[in-house]
Amino acid sequence: MIEQKENIRMSGDERHAQLLHIAVKLFSEKGFSGTTTREIAKCAGISEAMVFRHFANKDELYNAILDHKACSHGLQSFPWEDEEIHHLRETKDDFAFFNRLAASAFKNHKKDIAFIRLLLHSALEGHELSETFLEKFVLRLYDFIGSYIEQRQADGAFRDGDPRIFVRAFLGMLVHHSLNNLVLDPKRRMLDVSDEDAAENFARIFLNGIRKTTVR
């Protein structure tokens, strides 16, 4: 739980950021239906009316959470904005490309466990945040990785097949690994391996499945 903060004076930007942080934390713990703007205000040490000065309604607050995460170090650090990933994409270094994607994903997941829990809540409750995240991030990620796979198929390096099925196989390993380590099995009783080793192994396993030559 979040302890109530002292009602100290903050700039508008500071208060805005504080409310987003509190909202993500509460939503991730109690879900959307179980969290009210009054509770958010109480944890911030301000009136509910002050919350509505920053966010006209809950919908605006949900969108602000995604926009904030997209511009910060959180889960949505876009691979298509990563210069190194772009370089690896252009040079067609398959192993380094997928290894970098996996390592970057694990790093970002670990930085923002609350947001991962928030997304799970939103999906289970059928909340619009889940759909918004799908449109803003997941579909673009599928297109980004899928277009690379399609290009390498055209080059004759990868086996024929639906690129989006290949993308799902790759991302499935990453998401399953992070969900187990961060949510389901934080003690790592099922598998205790560093994220670096996991990224390398997942990239190699994936490529050995879709490349026409074995990756060692």
Instruction: Name the residue range of residue 47's domain.
Output: 12-70
Residue 104 tokens, joined: 């970057």
CA angle 13, 113, 176 (to 5 degrees): 145
In this prediction, residues 140-161 reach a mean pLDDT of 96
Residue 95 tokens, joined: 């192993």
- CATH for 172: 1.10.357
Q: Are residues 110 and 188 in the same domain?
A: yes
> Contact 125/32 with Cβ under 8 angstroms?
yes
Asked if the structure places residue 1 within a domain, the reply is no
Q: Which of 10-14, 77-81, 151-155, 179-183 has the highest mean pLDDT?
A: 151-155
Q: Are residues 55 and 99 in the same domain?
A: no
**Range scoring the smallest mean pLDDT among 26-30, 64-68, 85-89, 111-115:** 64-68
> Which value, to the nearest 10 degrees, does the dihedral of the CA atoms of residues 153, 156, 161, 163 take?
-10
Q: Are residues 56 and 97 in the same domain?
A: no
Kindly state the DSSP code that residue 6 receives in the 8-state scheme. Answer: P
Residues in the chain: 216
* CA atoms of 184 and 9, how far apart (whole Å): 39
Would you say residue 4 has pLDDT above 60?
Answer: no
* CA atoms of 214 and 59, how far apart (whole Å): 49
* CA atoms of 18 and 13, how far apart (whole Å): 9
Question: Tokens 């409750």 sit at which residue?
Answer: 125
**Range scoring the smallest mean pLDDT among 4-18, 49-63, 130-144, 179-193:** 4-18
Q: C-alpha distances in angstroms, 182 versus 78, 114, 116?
A: 21, 10, 9
Backbone angles phi, psi at 158, to 5 degrees: -110, 155
The last residue of one of the domains, among 52, 70, 88, is 70
- Count up the domains in the chain and report the number: 2
Would you say residue 31 has pLDDT above 80?
Answer: no
Q: Are residues 45 and 124 in the same domain?
A: no
CA angle 193, 176, 183 (to 5 degrees): 80
Q: Where are the alpha helices (DSSP H) in the chain?
A: 12-30, 37-44, 48-54, 58-70, 83-91, 94-111, 113-124, 128-133, 139-154, 163-179, 195-210
Asked if the structure places residue 94 within a domain, the reply is yes
Question: In sequence order, what are the beta bridge partners of 158?
Answer: 211
Q: C-alpha distances in angstroms, 32 versus 49, 64, 70, 81, 105?
A: 19, 15, 20, 31, 26
In this prediction, residues 148-167 reach a mean pLDDT of 97
Question: In sequence order, what are the beta bridge partners of 211?
Answer: 158
In this prediction, residues 185-195 reach a mean pLDDT of 95
The last residue of one of the domains, among 70, 92, 120, is 70
Residue 172 tokens, joined: 């499935």
Asked if the structure places residue 2 within a domain, the reply is no
